[in-house]
Amino acid sequence: MAGEHIDAVEMLRRLVAFDTTSRNSNLELIDFVRHYLRGHGVESELVFDHGGAKANLYATLGPRETGGIILSGHTDVVPIDDQDWTTDPWRLTEQHGLLYGRGSCDMKGFVACCLALVPEFLARGLKEPIHLAFSYDEEVGCLGVHSLIEHVVANHPKPRLCLVGEPTMMQVVDAHKGIRSFFTTVTGLEAHSSATHVGVNAIMVAADLIGFLGRMGEELKARGDATGRFTPPYTTLSVGTIEGGTAVNIIPRHCRFAWEYRPLPGTDADEPIRRFEEHVRTQVMPALEEKAPGVAAITTVPRSVTPALSPDPGSAAEVLAKALAGTNETLAVSYATEAGIFQVHGIPTVVCGPGDILQAHRPNEFVALDQIRACTAFLRKLADRVCAA
């Protein structure tokens, strides 16, 4: 059976129509991609999550004996909950050269460009393999890609380099911050709110801990960024959610907050959590133990770990991406991507993809048609280098 030929915009339309919000299964989208590739004689390898409801997809075009080039993207998107959309987020809508839809920019646009060019790559005869690596659960902490990379490294020749197509307006990004995020839970002791001498107020303990984080954030800010490349120019620290308490006249037993920091590449990414835990152990817990022995507890569990992407001047990935994008410049960005994880596995990686990160995660997310064209041109130049004809 001859495979279907689908241009990048039509491909994007089809991908956007799958509601792959991270909390949902992505298997319908994966199935669509798998069938499309099979139509062109390309088999896919799937790496499932524990529950079997989500999968990463890995497919190789061309010879399998050498390392080759990974084109990497994620299949999940952020929720549309509480966002005011003027178009149907799951239906790609073109207006004045802009393509609206959830994930159009972040980052089904890149995935669509890659898929649309598959027949062309194959027809021109690849000398070096191109691998498509599409992950799940990027938006909730780059969770899926770990097992994908482990699968690749364990079962295939090590890829020569990786291009991650997160939105950069087709500029070459060689550095980004990492993310470390955590849930901290404080368990106190309930009591009538008039009896503060017997209760342990979990919310007030949490507020104290958050104050400590705030002061550490200020210190990280003062430390700055020696490279001068990042905006803002320091490791940021932020508390994102907090919940706890039952009523104003009950001393609360429970409080939980989620927090994160985004370490600059080249800095000690463990330092803030190490100091926080030390503060808890030496400054906070002893006083609680004294007041309510064996009752109060503070536990911090990691939510996600995404390593920063460190600049690697002259790396195979940087050299190739600059040549394809026709630029001599590289940028540093403050958002994290899967690129740092590939780099940790020894695969030189840069980020370069269509669309503007400013449009990501917002209502009325869009990617400009021009950006889809620029990405297609970028990938065609890649074909010029890796194809025989």
Binding interface with Zn ion (CB under 5 A): 106-107, 166
- Which residue lies nearest Zn ion, judged by its C-beta? 106
* 113/374 Cα distance (integer angstroms): 10
Q: Residue 136 in contact with residue 55, Cβ under 8 Å?
A: yes
Which residue lies nearer to Zn ion by CB, 138 or 174? 138
**Please, what's the b/e burial string for 76-97 (b: 16 or more CB within 10 A of its CB; e: otherwise)?**
bbbebeeeebebebbebbeeee
Q: Which is nearer to Zn ion, 276 or 378 (CB)?
A: 378
- Rounded to a whole number of angstroms, the minimum distance from the CB of residue 224 to Zn ion is 27
- Asked whether 89 and 366 are in contact (CB, 8 A), the reply is no
Of 77 and 288, nearer to Zn ion (C-beta) is: 77
The residue among 34 and 176 lying less far from Zn ion, judged by its C-beta, is 176
Active site residue 76: yes
Question: Alpha carbon of 259 to those of 236, 238, 262, 277, 311: distances in Å?
Answer: 11, 6, 10, 13, 26
- The DSSP H or E segment spanning 109 is helix 109-116
Catalytic residue among 19, 76, 260, 338: 76
Tell the smallest beta-carbon distance from residue 77 to Zn ion (Å): 8
List phi, psi (to 5°) of 178: -95, -175
CA dihedral (314, 317, 318, 321) positive or negative: positive
Residues in a beta bridge with 301: 183
> Of 108 and 253, which CB lies nearer to Zn ion in the complex structure?
108
- In angstroms, give the least distance from the CB of 107 to Zn ion: 4
Active site residue 81: no
Q: Provide, rounded to whole angstroms, the least separation between the CB of residue 351 and Zn ion.
A: 10
Catalytic residue among 19, 137, 138, 174: 138
CA torsion, ordered 6, 7, 9, 12, to nearest 10 deg: 40
CB of 273 to Zn ion, least distance (A): 25
Q: Mind telling me the catalytic residues?
A: 76, 138
